[in-house]
Structure 1
Amino acid sequence: MKSVLAKLATDFLSTIVFLVVYLVTDNVLLATGVAIAGAIAQAIRARVRGEALGFMTWASLALAIVLGGATLLTNDPRFVLAKPAIAHFAIGAIMLKRGWMLRYMPARVTEVIPEYVTLAGYAWALLMFALGAGTIAIASTGDIKLWATYVTVVAAGAKIAAFAIQYVVIRFVITNRLRAAARA
């Protein structure tokens, strides 16, 4: 779990940097410039260390440069605020692949209820699309404090709640299925 969180933090580093610098300085242009520089430095550091850059890192770098550049050129923060939405849409699209979640589940789950895991994978895709749409809606207002609340509290909270619900439901279904099999 720790390595997954570290990977996510790496993939969304420029968004995190933007948010922190903005909250400290209340300056959108400075936060955008620092986020772009941070994304470029992150890619350079990985290349110097000989680390392979994953798709999400390249995508994050490209989005930081393109959307951050548009923000700097137009002085309109809505461009950079849309970046997390694009990531949510991309992740949601990947999650539409049938059975993508099976490899993340314990063997017992994949043996007993693979159809529920597939449904859960589609539910996660739907959640990602909903969060992306919400991010776009909030970003279009240009209210950075509202956006910051949404991406840190609402989006993160929705994912934590979805994970907890998924855990409880899968545990409940497996227990019932195994009890029914034992009785039969």
Structure 2
Amino acid sequence: MKDVFARLASDFLSAIIFLIIYLVTDNVILATSVAIAGAIAQVIYARVKGHQLSFMTYASLGLVVVLGAVTLLTNDPRFMLAKPAIAHFAIGTIMLKRGWMLRYMPPIVTETVPEYVTAAGYVWAALMFLIGAGTIVVASTGDLKLWAFYISVVAGGAKILAFAVQYIVLRLVVTSRRRAAARA
């Protein structure tokens, strides 16, 4: 669980940096420049430490640089605010692959209820698309406080709630099936 939150923080670090600096300084150019530099530094740091970098890491860096450049050229923060939506759409698309979630589950779950895990994977994909669409709607308003609330509370809370519901449902189903198998 700790690893999941660390990965989420890492994935959204440039957006977090952008938001903090923009809220403190009200300077789009400074916030965008520091966010771009932070994203580049994050990749360099990972490479120096010898960490394996995924496609998503490079895609995130590319988005920060491209959207950051557009933000700098237009002096409009909405482009940087839209970055998490693109990430959510990309992740949702990856989650449409049948059975993607099986490798993240403990053996007891994958052996007992693989069909539930596959269904949960599709539900997660739908959630990512929904959060991405919401992010674009909120980003288009240009209201940073609303965007910060949406990204941190609504989007983050939806993921935590979905994780909790998934955990409870899978635990109940696995327990039920194991009891039924023991009786038989």
Determine if the TM-score, normalized by the shorter chain, exceeds 0.5: yes
Residue matched to 2:85: 85
Could you tell me which residue of structure 1 aligns to residue 42 of structure 2? Answer: 42
**RMSD over aligned Cα, in angstroms?**
1.5
- Which deviates more, 120-129 or 26-35? 26-35
The 8 Å contact of residues 39 and 64 in structure 1, kept in 2 or not, is answered as yes
Take 2:87 and 2:143, find their aligned partners in 1: how far apart are those partners? 20
One-letter amino acid of the counterpart of residue 134, structure 1: G
Q: Establish whether residue 104 from structure 1 lines up as the match of residue 104 from structure 2.
A: yes
- Higher mean alpha-carbon deviation, 118-127 vs 17-26, is at 17-26
Cα shift at 1:6: 2.4
1:131 aligns with 2:131: yes
Query: What letter is aligned with 1:46?
Result: A
Alignment length (residue pairs): 184
The answer on whether the counterparts of 1:10 and 1:57 sit within 8 Å (CA) in structure 2 is: no
Moved more, 112-121 or 7-16: 7-16
The residue that corresponds to 2:120 in the other structure is 120
Which residue type is aligned with residue 42 of structure 1?
Answer: Q
Structure 2 residue aligned with 1:152:
152
Match of 2:176 in 1: 176
Residues 38-87 of structure 1 deviation map (CA, whole Å, 9 limit, x = unaligned): 11222233334444432122111111111011111111111111100000
Judge conservation of contact 1:68–1:80 (CA < 8 Å) in 2. Answer: yes
CA distance in 2, matches of 1:77, 1:99: 37
Identify the residue that residue 142 of structure 1 maps to in structure 2. 142
SS of 2:98's equivalent in the other structure is coil
Quote the Cα distance in structure 1 between the aligned partners of 2:174 and 2:40.
Answer: 46
TM-score by length of 2: 0.93
C-alpha separation between the residues in 1 aligned to 2:3 and 2:92?
21
Check 1:183–1:47 CA distance in 2 against 1; reply closer, same or farther (3 A cut): closer
Whole-Å separation in 2 of the counterparts to 1:96 and 1:33: 34
Q: Unaligned 5+ residue runs, structure 1?
A: none
Which piece of structure 1 moves more, 167-176 or 157-166? 167-176
Q: 132-141 or 49-58: which moved more?
A: 49-58
Quick one: structure 1 residues 167 and 46, their matched pair in 2 at CA, closer, same or farther if it must change by over 3 Å?
closer
Q: Secondary structure at the match of 1:98?
A: coil
SS in 2 for 1:102: helix
TM-score using structure 1 length? 0.93
